Structure 1
Amino acid sequence: MNDSVQGNVAADRRDLVILGGGLVGMTLALAAARHGMSSHVVERADPADLTADGVDGRASAISAASWNLFTNIGLAEALAPLGCPIDSIAVTDGMKPGRIDFKPDAGDGSLGMMFANRDIRLALFEAARNQPLIAWHTQADVVKRERDAHGVAATLADGRVLTGSLMVGAEGRRSPTRDEEGIGLVAWDYHHHAIVTALAHEKPHDGVAWEIFYSAGPFALLPLRDLPDGRHRSALVWTVPAKDGPGVMALSDAAFLAEVAKRMDGLYGGLELIAQRMCYPLTYQNATRIVGDRLALVGDAAHGMHPIAGQGLNLGLRDVGALVEVLIEGMRLGLEPGDAQLLTRYERWRALDTFTVMSVMDGIVRLFGVPGRTASAVRRIGMGAVQRMPGLKRFFMNEARGTSGRLPQLLQAQ
């Protein structure tokens, strides 16, 4: 690379140039700002489109550790009234006997919180608007990325040049920043699609997250806060074989709800569809490295996993906590955010945690995907054994809370 970045240095040079202003990218900008680091955040979409009512029926399970992060960057007050505590998790093989119930002891708190993605975005975007250390560039396309010994620069389609010390790729699974750097992926296709929407239902969910495993794919019901009119509400993530995805999406609302009701076995009584259906192909992908010269990857740009157990966003938020902590410690020693030593520390910190979580989730998907009555019986025997082992259940609950392993300071209770 030539010295063009040095020539592009403008008065508004910032510590970070974050490409991608979604849930992980904007959380990173806010977490960095809390520690005095400035950033440019570039987002292709219009925030109004991302937060329009009814557009996105997706929801995210926010682990206890991730909730600490939101609390520590000042979002708890805005988000707390919108979240639904996950008081327990029920895991079952096709609603047959032998399920596992993960329920914390009294005083241990919930396993996490469920939020509609729209509500998280609204809180993040409002905080970003009021944060002078964040320069937010929306409906903006990056046409050129440059990195050299002097810094980084992102040129936008309108000619603006955004400069900084470190470039962060946070654009999601199809990250052009990652691809342009030539970073490879360990990847495979699950040959399944996730059908995602939100349901209103007759009976209360009592804060239970259901993970119902069928041989065709997992069927998850995730508790959401009741609607203002008192209707009970849950998010649905229904995994179907890829060949069936278009057909399920083409069903009428009534036919779709009838298929959903069959798999719920009367769990919540009458159902109503309250968000549009969305369909996503399911793949596994893990970047072969997550740093380069003055470059770091976070969130789905670094790793994309099956939505089982809802750990994808939490893994990205751990990236945020680790990267911010490494950068803060380096800057205290007089290093700039793009220093190679700091990026090496970030990559080493995240490598084992990411690999472990993704491998476990992939193993569970494959285990419960084995068809046949014999396989189902063996799974249920194993689940029954786990149900009778408090120590093992506690281990799994700590994983769900995100409190295992070395946690960044931002993800610890202060």
Structure 2
Amino acid sequence: MVETAKTTQHADIAIAGGGYAALALALALRQGLGPQAAVLVCDPVLARPSAGDGRASAIAAAGRRLLEALGVWARLAASAQPIREMTITDSRTGDAVRPALLTFAGEVEPGEPSAYIIENRVLHDALAAACRDAGLTLLARPVARAQDTGKDTGEAITAHLNDGSRVTARLLVAADGGRSHLRERAGIGIFNRDYGQSGIVATLGCERDHEGRAEEHFLPSGPFAFLPMTGQRGSIVWTETSEAAARYCRLPAELFLDEVARRLGHHLGALTLLEPPQAFPLRLMIAREFYRGRLVLVGDAAHIVHPIAGQGLNLGLRDVAALAESIVDAARLGLDIGGPDVLERYARWRRFDTFTMAAATDALIRLFSNDFDPLRLVRGIGLGVVDRMPGLKQVFVREASGFGGEVPRLLRGERI
């Protein structure tokens, strides 16, 4: 149910943002705290269906378990393409042959794919529908600011909506994206690195069956990934300098597809452009604090990483699982759900994983986005060695699937 804002509302937890992390967190809190807990989600996007942006995302096995535990996966299964194999090459754009230097099997456990590819709009609509079915309060208004966020030591925090109304809550969650104004107004600093690159995203139709095989081609300008989708379709994530990306996006469809084929090859047969290409700037961003006062950050408000490893959405779902478990455990013990001990537990849980993933993706983009011959030789040897070590590859698969370190219950597929 989408409601219009009233003069003042009271909630246990208010969530600013209407994206995947915000909606998944609302569902997790409803499951763990029960309907007696007032959880409110605020974002104008909630009044609009199909809020996706033409992109597709990889959902790791742990993320799929979370969505299943929340009762959402049944709405998504028919639209989710399992990755059955991942192939990595390292070559130049004009190379006629791109031998596979590293191949990963598609299962993290027997019968369980390591990841699925799903359209963002499908995922968002399923989460929003599940929130409505759960009776969660969805306000189609943005949070403009939070009162005394950094100084608030009382029992509540006040969120001011853009229409002049207010929401008081014991905890305010900033899930309002990478340019979070709540994070900025709270004075939480960030580590930010602009790569000077953009990711070109487009949906393709394929003449031949991709058989669930994902591909990542490391090219001098940056990685070029093909992500298999249902119905003989695929999504590309093509990294170029921002200037070049804008130029490629302006090409007529036929010339654009010629450039795609130069990088992807011709093994999928004739390609068609199902959705026009879009370019998104790429950067690395990590918040220096994950909470301040009664404000806590999740998803892109807390971190943005390069899409080279396809982990952006999954990092957000790990935030959701860790924060929901921290809050629910505290509530069952009668503790203050917005207190510093609870939020520090969440921050400790997420800090190491976030910094590790950020460092790994940053190192990968620096290592592979160049055409220095000695370095290319070292890369090829390194990938070849890993490819011959099944045990090491399985460790990488489990880490990428979200099962490294201390795993929250939702990511194990358990209800909280």
TM over 0.5: yes
Counterpart of 1:124 (choices 127, 131, 138) is: 127
Residues 1:195 and 2:191 aligned together: no
Asked if 1 retains the 8 angstrom alpha-carbon contact of 2:104 and 2:393, the reply is yes
Deviations 1:21-57 (A, max 9, x none): 1011111111111112431111133543644xxx732
* TM-score, reference length from structure 1: 0.92
Residues 1:57 and 2:54 aligned together: yes
What's 2:70 paired with?
73
1:298-313 → structure 2 map (5 Å cutoff): 298-313=298-313
> Aligned to 2:276, what secondary structure does the other structure show?
coil
Q: Distance in 2 between matches of 1:98 and 1:125?
A: 40
Residues 1:14 and 2:16 aligned together: no
Counterpart of 2:112 (choices 91, 109, 116) is: 109
Residue 187 of structure 1: how far off its partner (Å): 1.2
CA RMSD of aligned residues (A): 1.7
Q: Distance in 2 between matches of 1:278 and 1:234?
A: 15
Asked if 1 retains the 8 angstrom alpha-carbon contact of 2:219 and 2:368, the reply is yes
Counterpart of 1:100 (choices 99, 102, 105) is: 102
Asked if 1 retains the 8 angstrom alpha-carbon contact of 2:87 and 2:216, the reply is yes
Aligned AA for 1:114? Answer: I
Deviations 1:315-363 (A, max 9, x none): 1110000001111111111112211110111111111111111111111
Asked if 1 retains the 8 angstrom alpha-carbon contact of 2:145 and 2:185, the reply is no
Q: Distance in 2 between matches of 1:179 and 1:104?
A: 40
Residues 1:179 and 2:184 aligned together: yes
Deviations 1:209-247 (A, max 9, x none): 111110101000001111xxxxx1011100001221221
Aligned AA for 2:163? Answer: D
Deviations 1:223-279 (A, max 9, x none): 1111xxxxx101110000122122111111111111001111112110011113221
Aligned AA for 1:199? Answer: L
Q: Distance in 1 between matches of 2:379 and 2:282?
A: 23
Asked if 2 retains the 8 angstrom alpha-carbon contact of 1:88 and 1:110, the reply is no
Residues 34 and 49 (structure 1), Cα distance of their counterparts in 2 relative to 1, 3 Å cut: closer
What's 1:397 paired with?
397
Q: Distance in 2 between matches of 1:296 and 1:212?
A: 37
Q: Distance in 1 between matches of 2:20 and 2:126?
A: 10
What's 1:262 paired with?
262
Asked if 1 retains the 8 angstrom alpha-carbon contact of 2:219 and 2:370, the reply is no
Residue 205 of structure 1: how far off its partner (Å): 1.0
What's 1:205 paired with?
210
What's 2:168 paired with?
163
Residue 376 of structure 1: how far off its partner (Å): 2.1
What's 1:322 paired with?
322
Asked if 2 retains the 8 angstrom alpha-carbon contact of 1:24 and 1:316, the reply is yes
Residue 111 of structure 1: how far off its partner (Å): 1.1
Residues 67 and 171 (structure 1), Cα distance of their counterparts in 2 relative to 1, 3 Å cut: same
Asked if 2 retains the 8 angstrom alpha-carbon contact of 1:91 and 1:99, the reply is yes
Deviations 1:95-132 (A, max 9, x none): 63351010156825211111100110110111111122
Q: Percent identity?
A: 39
Asked if 1 retains the 8 angstrom alpha-carbon contact of 2:174 and 2:296, the reply is yes
Q: Distance in 2 between matches of 1:21 and 1:48?
A: 10
Q: Distance in 1 between matches of 2:21 and 2:267?
A: 34
Residue 370 of structure 1: how far off its partner (Å): 2.5
Asked if 1 retains the 8 angstrom alpha-carbon contact of 2:190 and 2:285, the reply is yes
Asked if 2 retains the 8 angstrom alpha-carbon contact of 1:19 and 1:43, the reply is yes
> Aligned to 1:173, what secondary structure does the other structure show?
coil
* TM-score, reference length from structure 2: 0.91
Asked if 1 retains the 8 angstrom alpha-carbon contact of 2:106 and 2:115, the reply is no
Aligned AA for 2:101? Answer: R
Residue 378 of structure 1: how far off its partner (Å): 2.2
Q: Distance in 2 between matches of 1:399 and 1:370?
A: 26
Asked if 1 retains the 8 angstrom alpha-carbon contact of 2:101 and 2:387, the reply is yes
What's 1:31 paired with?
28
Asked if 2 retains the 8 angstrom alpha-carbon contact of 1:98 and 1:384, the reply is no
What's 1:272 paired with?
272
Q: Distance in 2 between matches of 1:366 and 1:109?
A: 32
Deviations 1:52-92 (A, max 9, x none): xxx73201100000111101111021111110111111111
What's 1:85 paired with?
82
- Superposition misfits of 4+ residues, deviation over 3 angstroms: none
Q: Distance in 1 between matches of 2:229 and 2:243?
A: 30
Aligned AA for 1:256? Answer: F
The runs of 5 or more residues in structure 1 that have no matched partner are 1-7, 227-231
Residues 342 and 348 (structure 1), Cα distance of their counterparts in 2 relative to 1, 3 Å cut: same
Aligned AA for 1:286? Answer: I
Q: Distance in 2 between matches of 1:116 and 1:143?
A: 29
